[in-house]
């Protein structure tokens, strides 16, 4: 990820940052005293940082402090860098390393030798980066989210291993916060200011949401979700106990039957990650079109016959419009990274004319709750079209390190002649919900009555007994292929077995 800006950008942020936010020599980063308690883990690199435990809480600390004299030296170095790059060729793109080298040269005249590298590091991020935000982004492989609750309070990060950790980094004030956010959203042609106090933007592999007064009572607040981490595959799901081999075998057969499915759950329950891993079950001859707001969350790049579209609720092209566009591109399956608006109606319309779909949506329950959420605003799916849904997967977060499939629900519809008993949905349809997995445990005995087995039998012209044998065969294949640590590739075995 690039943090650097051209000389003209540093001097004026292309005119987007207000003058009071351009106090060029003032530091926007505060490094608070590190209360490290009992240190659990050190991270490599300079400057040193560590995660420690204090009672039941965790801290994420940079292991150095800044004195008043250090601050004066750093502000002189920052002013020198801004002056140097502002007069440079505007086509040059100084990065963190280049700015750090320039700061080191100036600080060599002002600071003791043992302080130069640490101070230069902060100056570089403060000048051409996003201040404390870009300092934390250097460790984004270990961080899922950066949370700012007020401009001068310690920033909080969500660690992939330890959960929420309070840091010893903060902004120096509201102006510093605004300046950093405006540098982040520069390429999105957006700005956070009194006239636009709320900004939502995609910045490379980051999803940024920020607010200032009057909507943020504390003065400023932001959430930065970090994407682009390790690609999650089927082997990883098995090793982390996200899903069992029986669950994956069931979903593999469901994809072959072109069933429509929704992955539901609370925020951060692993919905989109799980859906992205299921792409390995899509037949290779099937044209798949993905529609996402967050870039590459589904990790569809490099998959044959896949077209990735981007739609933003805050941009010129919305997810609804991209779903309509996808329907015009003769897809075999449409995949939506997060369904939460009127694009759901068009998705179900496509499903009722034979275009399969897979999507995620927020829900705090499974089963009938998912159907009820689909029927009300803002999704407002018509009851007569809702019968296209075949399967819903409900996910939960057990702890910091584990998200898992809690339930798998199968829907039988009166309108599709799949049931004649069940719960009525208005006067238009009736549905029977079967639960094949509950609290993370797959019910193998319930599978015999599953509509999936009946569908698989009709497609392949085999008996139910043979279909159940096929289910068990695939389950054993997945479990054996994953290995004990998830290091092996289930995908290769799936492709080989399916003859793709």
Read off the pLDDT of residues 73-88 as tens digits, 9 standing for 90 and up. 999 999 988 888 776 6
Is the predicted pLDDT of residue 444 greater than 90, yes or no?
yes
Helix axes 116-128, 68-86, angle to 10 degrees: 50
Partners of residue 146 on adjacent β-strands: 157, 224
Mean pLDDT on 42-60: 85
What are the tens digits of pLDDT across the range 134-152? 999 999 888 989 999 999 9
Confidence tier at 207 by pLDDT (50, 70, 90): confident
**Mean pLDDT computed over 55-80:** 90
**Weakest-pLDDT range from 23-37, 263-277, 374-388:** 23-37
Burial class of residue 188 (count of CB atoms within 10 Å of its CB; 0-12, 13-18, 19+) = middle
Quick check: 254 and 243 in contact, CB under 8 A? no
Instruction: Give the pLDDT mean for 164-173.
Output: 94
CB 122 within 8 A of CB 66: yes
Nearest residue to 408 via CA among 291, 304, 298, 263: 263
Percent of the chain with pLDDT over 70: 89
Q: Which residue has the tokens 């999105």?
A: 188
The CATH code for residues 7-226 is: 3.30.450.380
DSSP annotation of 477 reads H
Per-residue pLDDT at 4: 42
Q: What is the pLDDT of residue 13?
A: 40
pLDDT of residue 149: 95
The confidence band for 5, taking pLDDT boundaries of 50, 70 and 90, is very low
Lowest mean pLDDT segment, chosen from 124-138, 143-157, 304-318 = 304-318
> Is 482 within 8 Å of 248 (Cβ atoms)?
no
- What confidence tens digit (pLDDT) does each residue in 233-278 have? 888 888 889 999 999 999 999 999 999 999 999 988 989 889 989 9
Mean pLDDT of the chain: 87
Phi, psi (degrees; rounded to nearest 5) at 268: 70, 20
Residue 204 has a pLDDT of: 81
Distance (Å, whole) CA 334 – CA 339:
12
pLDDT category at 293 given cuts 50, 70, 90 is confident
Q: How far, in Å, CA of 32 to CA of 171, rounded?
A: 10
Is the pLDDT confidence value at 2 over 50?
no
Give the lowest-confidence range in 57-61, 294-298, 352-356, 469-473: 294-298
Whole-number Å distance between alpha carbons of 281 and 173:
50
Average pLDDT of the segment spanning 340-363: 96
User: What pLDDT is recorded for position 440?
Assistant: 95
For 265-317, the DSSP string reads ESTTSSHHHHHHHGGGGS-TTS-EEEEESSTTSS--TT-TTEEEEE--TTSSS
pLDDT of residue 18: 38
Q: Give the position of tokens 């320039």.
A: 102
Residues 188, 491: Cα–Cα separation, whole Å: 36
Give the pLDDT of residue 24.
56
Distance from first CA to last CA of the chain, Å, rounded? 35
CA distances from 248 to 230, 392, 458, 476, 489 (A): 20, 14, 21, 11, 14
Q: Where are the alpha helices (DSSP H) in 129-169?
A: 132-137
Under the banding of pLDDT at 50, 70 and 90, the label for residue 423 is very high
Q: Where are the domains of the chain?
A: 7-226, 234-498
Max Cα distance, the chain (Å): 85
Which pLDDT value is given to residue 90?
52
Instruction: Look at residue 294 in the predicted model and tell me its pLDDT.
Output: 64
Say which range, 49-58, 129-138, 261-270, 468-477, has the weakest mean pLDDT.
Answer: 49-58
Q: Indicate the Cα dihedral angle 121, 124, 127, 130, nearest 10°.
A: -70
**What's the pLDDT band for 6 if we cut at 50, 70, 90?**
very low
- What's the predicted TM-score (pTM) here? 0.78
Distance CA(463)–CA(440), nearest Å, equals: 28
CB 489 within 8 A of CB 279: no
Considering only residues 405 and 206, tell me which one the structure prediction assigns the higher pLDDT.
405
Please check the confidence at residue 494 and state whether its pLDDT lies above 60.
yes
Domain at 234-498: CATH code: 3.40.50.300
Element (H, E) at 96: helix 96-107
């Amino acid at each position: 990820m690039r943090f650097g800006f051209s000389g003209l950008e540093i001097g004026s942020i292309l005119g987007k940052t207000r003058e009071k936010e351009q106090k060029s020599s003032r530091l926007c980063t505060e490094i608070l005293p590190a209360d490290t308690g009992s240190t659990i883990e050190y991270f490599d690199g300079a400057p040193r940082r560590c995660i420690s435990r204090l009672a039941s809480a965790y801290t994420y600390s940079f292991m150095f402090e800044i004195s008043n004299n250090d601050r004066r030296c750093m502000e002189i170095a920052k002013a020198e860098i801004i002056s140097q790059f502002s007069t440079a060729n505007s086509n040059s793109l100084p990065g963190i390393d280049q700015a750090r080298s320039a700061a080191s040269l100036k600080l060599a005249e002002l600071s003791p030798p043992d302080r130069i590298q640490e101070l230069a590091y902060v100056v570089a991020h403060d000048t051409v980066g996003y201040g404390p935000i870009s300092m934390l982004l250097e460790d984004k492989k270990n961080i899922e989210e950066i949370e700012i609750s007020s401009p001068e309070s310690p920033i909080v990060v969500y660690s992939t291993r330890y959960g929420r950790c309070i840091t010893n980094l903060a902004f120096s004030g509201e102006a510093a916060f605004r300046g950093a956010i405006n540098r982040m959203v520069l390429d999105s042609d957006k700005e956070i200011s009194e006239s636009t106090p709320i900004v939502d933007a995609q910045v490379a592999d980051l999803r940024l949401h920020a607010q200032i007064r009057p909507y943020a009572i504390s003065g400023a607040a932001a959430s930065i979700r970090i994407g682009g981490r390790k690609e999650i595959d089927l082997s990883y799901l098995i090793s982390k106990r996200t899903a069992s081999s029986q669950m994956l075998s069931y979903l593999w057969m469901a994809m072959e039957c072109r069933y429509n499915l929704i992955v539901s759950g609370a925020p951060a329950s692993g919905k989109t990650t799980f859906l992205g891993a299921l792409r390995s079950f899509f037949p290779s001859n099937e044209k798949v079109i993905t529609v996402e707001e967050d870039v590459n969350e589904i990790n569809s790049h490099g998959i044959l016959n896949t077209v990735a579209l981007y739609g933003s609720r805050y941009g010129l092209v919305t997810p609804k419009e991209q779903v309509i566009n996808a329907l015009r591109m003769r897809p075999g399956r449409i995949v939506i990274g997060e369904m939460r608006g009127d694009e759901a109606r068009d998705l179900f319309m496509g499903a009722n004319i034979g275009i399969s779909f897979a999507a995620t949506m927020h829900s705090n329950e499974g089963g009938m709750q998912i159907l009820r959420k689909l029927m009300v605003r803002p999704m407002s799916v018509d009851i007569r079209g809702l019968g296209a849904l075949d399967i819903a997967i409900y996910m939960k977060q057990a702890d910091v390190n584990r998200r898992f499939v809690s339930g798998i629900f199968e829907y039988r519809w009166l309108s599709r002649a799949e049931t004649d008993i069940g719960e009525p949905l208005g006067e238009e349809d009736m549905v029977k919900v079967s639960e094949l997995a509950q609290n993370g445990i797959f019910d193998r005995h319930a599978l015999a009555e599953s509509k999936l087995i009946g569908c698989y039998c009709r497609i392949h012209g085999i008996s139910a007994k043979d279909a159940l044998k096929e289910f068990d065969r695939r389950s054993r294949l997945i479990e054996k292929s994953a290995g004990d640590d998830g290091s092996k590739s289930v995908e290769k075995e799936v492709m080989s077995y399916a003859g793709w």
